[in-house]
Structures are given as structure tokens and as C-alpha cells.
Amino acid sequence: MKTVFAVLGWLALVLLLLASIGISKPASDLAEEVMASAEYVGGVEYLAEPAIDHLIDRLNESGYNHQPIDPNEPLLKSRIVLVCEGMNERVARHVVERLIYLDALDPARPIDLRIATSGGWVDSAFTIVDTMRAIEAPVNVTAIGGCYSAGTVILAAATGKRAATPNTLLSVHVNDFEPGDDFDVDRRELDRFRDVYRRYTDVPESWFDGTGDNQWYLNAEQALKMELIDEIAQPVHQPAEEPRARPRAAA
């Protein structure tokens, strides 16, 4: 019975998710698609297990809610591209399309990419990295809030200025690689990670030599010292030297 309620709960959650992103289909059709996806991952009972992540991944990879380029979008007119979600194929397409578009408009003017992300698919991160390297316009990357794992790879490899806001946290994430022969996927993954951090930062080489799934967290000052960034973005509104005394609310 517990599994039944869990399945119904996940079904309701996924239906709400699909509705929130603008997929205009009858609820019955959406329910059928969710159940079909559940069967794909091993049966509806697996909706109560971590395999729900697989379902969400497939949704992210499907290209849903694709936003075509709008030349009149205020941020785009200011040559700003904003990412505030996990890295996946849909996000990579969103960013790459805009980088190529802005480069075609004026390859001499910098593009500002601002990232707040919990990480995600490394392939998607390198899709953005390779596009930055392929276009003429320099891409300034600024980390805001939190920039973890795959997001830090993009930040480190920026072709323009690299910055982080004062309260940003960053992480260098090294997966549990077990390198094999020259054609082993883990070896290839580790090689490209090392290449980015070795070329563009002063991150310790020892971080890539350990075993297990490791993450190292840095604040903006530490990131600057390790050359993950070139500068700390200074706020327009500086905090007061002394904390303000806030009046207490009347009882």
C-alpha cells in the first residue's frame, strides 16, 4: 500500500512539473506518458525509488520548453546569457545558441555569461566550453550564488574575464574515476577535467589523484587565490561598515 501511495505522489508531482513548464496536453495523456516512462525504467513501483531521477533526466534531455532566440529580449540585447539551473542538454542548447548568435552580431564585443548552478552533466558543460573556444567574441563568465562541479568547469575555461560575486561558493568535483586503458571512458573524463584545471587554474594536482567521489568547496577569496577566477565582482551597493541596529517590533 505504501508503494501505491508513493507512486500516486510521484505521479502528481510529475504532472505538476509538466504543467508548470508549459506542456499543454490533457492530464490523462500526460499520465499515460508518465506511466509509460515508468515502465521504461523498470515498472511503476520504481517511481518510489531513486530511478525517478532517470525519468526527470529523460525529460530534461527531451528538449521540452525550448525557448527560441528573441532579439528583443532585454538581457540578450545587453549581451547577457543567464543560467540558473542544472547543466543538461537543454541548458547547453540554450547557452550555445545565444553565444553563436551574439558572436555573429558582433564578434568584437564581449558576451557575459552568468552562472548559478548545482552542477550537472559534464558533457553539457564541455559543449559550452568548446563553443566559447570556437567563437571570436570573448565570453566573460561570472559565478553568482553557487557554482558547482560542471559549472566551475565552464567558469575556469572562460575565454574572457572570470569572476565571482563576494558570497559565491564554488566546488571542484572529481568523480569516482577508475582509469583503465587508453580508450576507457573514465580515463577520458579524468583527462579533460585535469586539462581544464591544469591550463587555467592553480588547483592542486593532488585533487585528481585520490580515490572516491570528491568535492572541494571554495569561497570567492579562495577561488581567487587558486586562480579559478581573475577577480571578485564588486557590489554596486557596499554593505555598511557597522551592522545597522534594527528597531524591535512592538509587542
Q: Check whether 93 has a pLDDT greater than 90.
A: yes
CA distance 141 to 71: 21
Q: Which residues, 6+ apart, have CB-to-CB distance to 155 below 8 Å? A: 115, 141, 143, 147, 162, 164, 170, 228, 229
Question: Whole domain around residue 115: which residue ranges?
Answer: 74-232
Q: Which residues pair with 218 in a beta bridge?
A: 170
Q: Are residues 92 and 177 in the same domain?
A: yes
CA distance 166 to 221: 8
Q: What is the pLDDT of residues 11-43, one digit of tens each?
A: 555 555 555 445 555 555 656 666 666 565 556
Q: Which of 160, 162, 164, 163 is nearest to 103 (CA)?
A: 160
**Average per-residue pLDDT in the chain?**
80
Q: What is the reported pTM?
A: 0.73
Q: What is the pLDDT of residues 155-214, one digit of tens each?
A: 999 999 999 999 999 999 876 566 667 777 777 877 888 889 999 999 988 887 766 678
Q: Are residues 177 and 225 in the same domain?
A: yes
pLDDT of amino acid 222: 97
Q: Are residues 222 and 122 in the same domain?
A: yes
Residue 202 belongs to some domain of the structure: yes
Q: In 4-121, at which residue ranges do the beta strands (DSSP E only) sit?
A: 80-83, 111-117
pLDDT of amino acid 226: 96
Q: Are residues 108 and 221 in the same domain?
A: yes
